[in-house]
Structure 1
Amino acid sequence: QLSAPLYGDDVAALQAKLQDLGFYAGRVDGFFGPQTHESLSSFQREIGIAADGICGPQTLRSLELLGTRVTGGSPHAISEEELVRRKGPQLGGKRIVIDPGLGGPSTGTIVNGISEADILWDLAMRLEGRMAATGMETFLSRPHNADPTEAERALTSNAFDADLMISLRCDSNSSPSANGVASFHFGNSHGSVSMIGQVLTGFVQREIVARTPLRDCRTHGRTWELLRLTNMPTVQIDLGYLSNASDVAVLTNPRMRDTIAEAILISVKRLYLLGQDDQPTGTFTFAELLAEELSVADRIS
């Protein structure tokens, strides 16, 4: 019940069954939230039993008796792809939430006289400026002087009705040898995955690795709160290890932060191009992108 939200494999099994029957198009995330409640209530109304949103014995029996209606892929993945397709290839008007980690009293690791929080905030500002120049609407998940929880960041971001959320983080390890950039999207052991998040993390990895000395630590599906609780496709980019001298040299260099911001923006553009009129990885520049966006905007106006 919504008054006592549940998490677990049994909830994921319920979501998967409702998805198979065409009543649930969200992520199979194992969280019994409002969307799962409404989907279950819709199923109950459809088969003529009390639509209380409670998965009791009668509802369970009905679920078991009915066969699959939806085939050919995840409805949630299909819905995500269609949203991207409908938005079109131009960046103007796209709504993006940028989520720099830490903040306020949480400064993180200090390297070469600059804090982890300042590195992430500076990168967020560089990315925001480039996105704004292309006509995108940008929002920050937090003010400079605050460090909200992951759930609070997700709640704030959901209020913006954004198309994407990009979360920026750094990593560290007890071993100074650990190094590299990794990107994360929503994905769980039940086979549910944010398809758009998965595609975007792939672009992000390739672009950053092609443009910087950072090692490719690949993309990964996770069920972290920030990835699970956001309504829009969300990616988290762990930009390097502040416990590694080589990564520190990259992240504390303002020019390299410019390069990383450019790589992320180009990755978003590649996502919306849907594989059409694309350029080789690492070759599309911000100047070229900006000129193209402004040219299209002039033709439309």
Structure 2
Amino acid sequence: MQPLRLGSRGAAVAEVRSILTGIGMLRGEAAVDASVPVGSARWNRSEPIFDEHLDLVVRTFQQQRGLLVDGVVGPATYQALRDASYRLGTRTLSYQVAAPMTGDDAATLQLRLQDLGFYRDLVDGYFGRATHEALVSYQGEYGLSADGICGPATLRSLQFLGTRVTGGSPHALTERELVRRSGPRLAGKRIVLDPGLGGTEPGLTVPNPHADNESLTQADIAWDITTRLEGRMAATGMETILTRGRRNSPTVAERAHIANAFGADLMISIQASSSSSPNPNGVATFHFGNSHGSTSMIGSILSGFIQREIVARTALRDCRSHARTWDILRLTRMPVAQVDVGYLSNATDLTLLTNPHTRDIVAEAILVAVKRLYLLDKDDQPTGSYTFSRLLAEEQA
């Protein structure tokens, strides 16, 4: 579907209104049946308009769901709306390899299984292998047919059972224990580095003030910082893999698949941003977290460390660390931190990011943040004071 925004009209706008009504964010529309495709006879009604009130509600929905708040119903927001329209029991849930099922019903199922002690991964509304295995385990223990299909019998059994464990996220405890067991040394850690954009998606192009007749793009900035970070990580004995080459741009799903296949301990995605306005500026970091209360604890800690280290070492504005549900954070099976290092569309950030010295500092800040993560409670160095040379000396001692 084409992106919908203020002023749009048509059947797709009617569907957006109906979904938002069904989840209690709008009044006066008939609730949508999530199984009805856009464009069917169900939507052949007088064309509604995407007005200012709908724009505000869409922005509120995007904020609640950890999406980019722009008021535009693009692919990510539309998928989130469809996911929100599903309630547990409105359809049969099962593991489908080719086209995995997603939705709030899957998230509710994950929460129920987590409370009963069967599910230990992120509550992300993604019915993947981990959810399937947890459901099979639950069904087998409860005396149901262990087929991994959440149908009427399984739903009734879930309604009759209370929780076995409360007071904490099993996934968060598992993440922290894995970090603790791996020890403070960086040598041997497996890290996926994800430079944003690339290939046919270079992003904004700007002049390079440090080289005559040359230009830089968002993809170039992300690539340069990534390779500087990769070199430092290699010096410490870490194993790294990049999600893309110098000239290609895999999809987000492909990047996540690379990370999952590598069996990484962490993933760090590095982006350079741009905006149609010259005003946005500063560095921000992101980790997985959603409206169901599920958060990657290690992703959150790492994002916070990276944010503080970069802000302490550069003149980039502090835009803080945030929880988001973006696919690069949701589809990966390890903690992920995404770093948006600044805006090439802003004059101040442009001056900083086109300077190779700043990019070098950012790469060092990210590595130090990773080291702080693995030090856990033994980290006693003030923010911004831990140098690469000292870190390297400690690693080689």
Structure 1 residue 5: Cα displacement = 2.3
Q: Which residue of 2 aligns with 1:178?
A: 280
**Counterpart of 1:58 in structure 2: which amino acid?**
A
TM-score by length of 2: 0.73
User: Which aligned pairs between 1:26-45 and structure 2 lie closer than 5 A?
Assistant: 26-45=121-140
How far has the Cα of 1:2 moved from its partner?
2.2
Q: Which runs of 5+ in 1 are unaligned?
A: 296-301
Supply the AA of the counterpart residue of 1:160: F
Tell me the CA shift for residue 103 of structure 1: 1.4
Indicate whether 1:146 and 2:146 are aligned.
no
- Residue deviations 1:134-193, cap 9 Å, x none? 111111011222101111100011111110000001112222111000100000000000
1:244 aligns with 2:337: no
Is it true that 1:127 corresponds to 2:229 in the alignment?
yes
State the match for 1:8 in structure 2: 103
Aligned residues of 1:270 and 1:278 also touching (Cα < 8 A) = no
Match of 2:205 among 106, 110, 131: 110
Q: Displacement of 1:52 after TM fit?
A: 1.1
Q: Does 1:78 align with 2:180?
A: no
Residue pairs, 1:154-165, within 5 angstroms: 154-165=256-267
How much has 1:278 moved relative to structure 2?
2.2
Structure number, greater radius of gyration: 2
- Mapped partners of 1:277, 1:195: distance in 2: 17
Cα distance in 1 between the residues matched to 2:332 and 2:180: 20
Contact 2:372/2:379, CA 8 A, preserved across alignment: no
Which structure exhibits the higher relative contact order, with contacts defined as CA atoms closer than 8 Å and separated by 6 or more residues?
A: 1
Native 8 Å contact 1:165 1:233 kept in 2: yes
Identity among equivalent pairs (%): 66
Give CA-to-partner distance per residue, 1:217-245, whole Å, 9 cap, x none. Answer: 11111111110010110111011011101
- Classify the secondary structure of the residue corresponding to 1:159: helix
Indicate conservation of the 8 Å contact 2:198/2:246, yes or no. Answer: yes
Query: Are 2:148 and 1:53 equivalent residues in the alignment?
Result: yes
Q: Assess if the C-alpha contact under 8 Å between 1:171 and 1:241 holds in 2.
A: yes
Aligned to 1:223: 325
Instruction: Find out whether 1:19 has 2:114 as its counterpart.
Output: yes
Moved over 6 A (4+): none
Aligned residues: 295
Residue 38 of structure 1 deviates from its aligned partner by 1.1
Determine the structure 1 residue equivalent to 2:163. Answer: 68
Matches within 5 A, 1:199-214: 199-214=301-316
CA distance in 2, matches of 1:87, 1:209: 28
Q: Gaps spanning 5+ residues in structure 2: where? A: 1-93, 208-214
Q: Any idea what SS the aligned residue of 1:92 has?
A: coil
Letter paired with 2:136: S
In structure 2, what is the Cα distance between the partners aligned to 1:187 and 1:106? 27
Rounded Cα–Cα distance in structure 2 between residues aligned with 1:39 and 1:103:
38
